[in-house]
Structure 1
Amino acid sequence: MEIFNHNANVNFLGMRKISVGIAILLMAVSFGLIAIKGLNYGLDFTGGVSLVVDYENPVTTAEVQEALEKGGIEHSLVASLGGTREVSVRFQPTAVMKDEAGKINLDKVSAVTTGVLKASRPDVSIKSRDYVSSTVGDELRSDGIMAALVVMLGIGLYLGIRFEWRFAVAAIVTELHDALITVGVFALVQREFDLTVLASVLAVIGYSINDKVVVFDRVRELFRLARKAEPEEILNRSINNTLSRTIITALFTAITMAALYFFGGPVVHGFAITMLIGILVGTLSSIFVASPILLWLGVSKQDLMPKTKENPELARRP
């Protein structure tokens, strides 16, 4: 199945100054948004209370969410716990849930929440309660950043071994580009950034590198097959040869994420939206950014030819 002609000759490298310029601008804007506006961290990072609420009769997460909002408990996160009668509720405690010293009082949290929920449904009870401090959130934040960096460096090391160091550099730069712009969009719209979104950012990195490896593999193959290998021509042909595959993969993955957004419930909205943004950014960087970086780094046929060990026996032969 092909959307574009396999042998098309669109001059993507001819647009490299514009495309890379736009990429650098978007990275700078994203970095500025993250530094100035910051991210709207969710309860996973800022801390809060976590309750397990039990109902005698079936209930939906939408009903619980609506009851909490009517009772003045806003920005709560409600998730089903595998059945229709038990849900998890997380939120930032209000002033009435704290003692005179300003510390969170779990007894008050349970009492206020139970009262709010019973105003809508009397068949409710608090099964368990817990408090997550902001210190834990800070640790999760730093661990998440470290995980993203380790993933990028690991991918770079793998590509350096499988291909050549120039491919590793191009991959790390474009992965940083994809992740930074994706997070920058969240900073721009101030959508909640929680552990689910962080996990999807890591998934974006993995998805994006898959596209780039396909193009890189085609680059290596064409360099080895061509007798007179002009780098710009080879890189252009590689992008054109793999363009249908890149677009089809992005399209079907985006359809899956859209279905997850519309039918998966609010708990996975952040994951689906992040993946949709990452798919778009990653696909464009695979086409317009990765190959120009390879060209500027000076990739050549000699760099990609199989290395053979010298055989002293053969050297002595006439």
Structure 2
Amino acid sequence: MAWRLKVVPDQTNIDFFRAQWLFFWGSWVLMAAAIAVWAVMGLNFGVDFQGGTTIRTESSQPVDVGAYRQALSGLDLGDVAITQVFDPTFDADQHVAQIRIGIQDGEEAVSGEAIARAEAALRAVDPEVRFTSVESVGPKVSGELIRSAIIAVVAASLLIMVYLWMRFEWQYAVGGVVALVHDVIVTIGIFALFQIRFDLTTVAALLTILGYSINDTVVVFDRLRENLLKYKTMPLREVMNLSVNETLSRTFMTSGTTLLALFALLIWGGDVIRGFALAIIIGVLLGTYSSIYVAKNLVLYLGLPRGDKAKKPSRNAFADIDA
């Protein structure tokens, strides 16, 4: 007989709804705190959204942020941010810095002459410095990117709600979309709290979070709908608890294997992709949590039709897959 690793037993009887209202209202408090942090501290927008020029430098000499800042301070470049980039994949003599020059009022972009002066000043501090990349984005483009990002997230959420409404009852749609909003807002709040760079790759991660989170929610919703028809007299709370337990092994294995790949990207993927990997890691953890303690709790509060009034699952090629 083949040996199989069992992380979760076949039969579990965990009472996920023992402290259901504590988790439910705690989730709303967490969302409010995330919005407050977002409003007070703001997001650390990358050049994609803020506009300006980012110069990436590389040298065999250690980065002296103070010397870099002093060299650029007399050039009248406006808002300049200098950060040293750390990465475990870098060589021992590979020292990388990122210099962001913001667009000044009334200007459409940082001029080429200003960039050249900045590079010359940095070479005076470190003659071995190399400029591996220079990226510029104007304020008009960055404003369009912000609007497009907001539209993409809102449109994806609305389409997911329409899908859930058509496939299930309206209560499922409301619960699923509120859980998605919870995941996105809390993720953005974490980025604001720790001032992690927020750029287009982060928006891509947020859209990925929407798809991943709703996938886990739909799996439990589908099992819940089947169990509602199977256990017509069982209280809704117990049916929900049974459905979550029956899909627990699938949730654990899917989230676990996804996190293994994401942590590998976070550690060894380099600083360019680190924000993307971190956002999805946060989203996977939040999505697993919100599928139970936000979406299911909200559906439990709204109630569901029982018996013949319940919407029956359609029979298709995937209907018999064991989740």
* Same structural fold, with TM-score higher than 0.5 when normalized by the shorter chain: yes
Aligned equivalent of 1:26, options 12, 27, 30: 30
**Aligned equivalent of 1:116:** 122
The DSSP-based 3-state class of the residue aligned with 1:289 is: helix
Within 5 A, what are the aligned runs for 1:62-81? 63=59, 69=65, 71-72=68-69, 74-75=81-82
Amino acid at match of 1:242: T
Amino acid at match of 1:169: V
Change (3 A) 1:237 1:6: farther
Distance 2:49 2:294 in 1: 33
Displacement of 1:92: 2.8
**Aligned equivalent of 2:111:** 105
Within 5 A, what are the aligned runs for 1:48-197? 48-49=52-53, 63=59, 69=65, 71-72=68-69, 74-75=81-82, 91-93=99-101, 104-113=110-119, 116=122, 131-197=136-202
Distance 1:64 1:143 in 2: 40
Deviations 1:15-36 (A, max 9, x none): 2111101101101101111112
**Aligned equivalent of 1:249:** 254
Change (3 A) 1:209 1:125: closer
**Aligned equivalent of 1:289:** 294
Change (3 A) 1:8 1:62: farther
Amino acid at match of 2:276: F
TM-score (normalizing by structure 1): 0.78
Displacement of 1:108: 3.0
Percent same amino acid at aligned positions? Answer: 33
TM-score (normalizing by structure 2): 0.77
- Contact kept? 1:68, 1:116, Cα under 8 Å: no
Amino acid at match of 1:303: A
1:304 aligns with 2:308: no
Distance 2:186 2:82 in 1: 25
Displacement of 1:199: 1.2
Within 5 A, what are the aligned runs for 1:8-27? 8-27=12-31
- Contact kept? 1:200, 1:275, Cα under 8 Å: yes
Displacement of 1:3: 3.0
Change (3 A) 1:182 1:209: same
Within 5 A, what are the aligned runs for 1:195-234? 195-234=200-239
Aligned equivalent of 2:264, options 259, 268, 275: 259
- Structure 2 gaps, min length 5: 73-80, 86-96, 315-323
Change (3 A) 1:199 1:102: closer
Amino acid at match of 1:201: L
Amino acid at match of 2:265: L
Change (3 A) 1:50 1:125: closer
Change (3 A) 1:115 1:276: same
Distance 1:140 1:77 in 2: 26
Displacement of 1:293: 1.0
Displacement of 1:134: 2.4
The DSSP-based 3-state class of the residue aligned with 2:9 is: coil
1:40 aligns with 2:44: yes
Deviations 1:242-301 (A, max 9, x none): 112112211111111110011110001101111111111111111222111111111133
Aligned length: 286
The DSSP-based 3-state class of the residue aligned with 1:93 is: strand
Displacement of 1:304: 2.4
Amino acid at match of 2:47: L
Q: Over the residues paired in the alignment, what is the CA RMSD in angstroms?
A: 3.3
Distance 2:292 2:61 in 1: 42
Q: Which protein shows a greater Rg?
A: 1
Displacement of 1:50: 5.5
The DSSP-based 3-state class of the residue aligned with 2:310 is: helix
Deviations 1:79-106 (A, max 9, x none): xxxxxxxxxx974338xx98xx998331
- Structure 1 gaps, min length 5: 54-60, 79-88, 308-318
Distance 1:147 1:65 in 2: 43
Deviations 1:180-238 (A, max 9, x none): 11111111111211111121111111111111011011111111222434311211101
Change (3 A) 1:295 1:64: farther
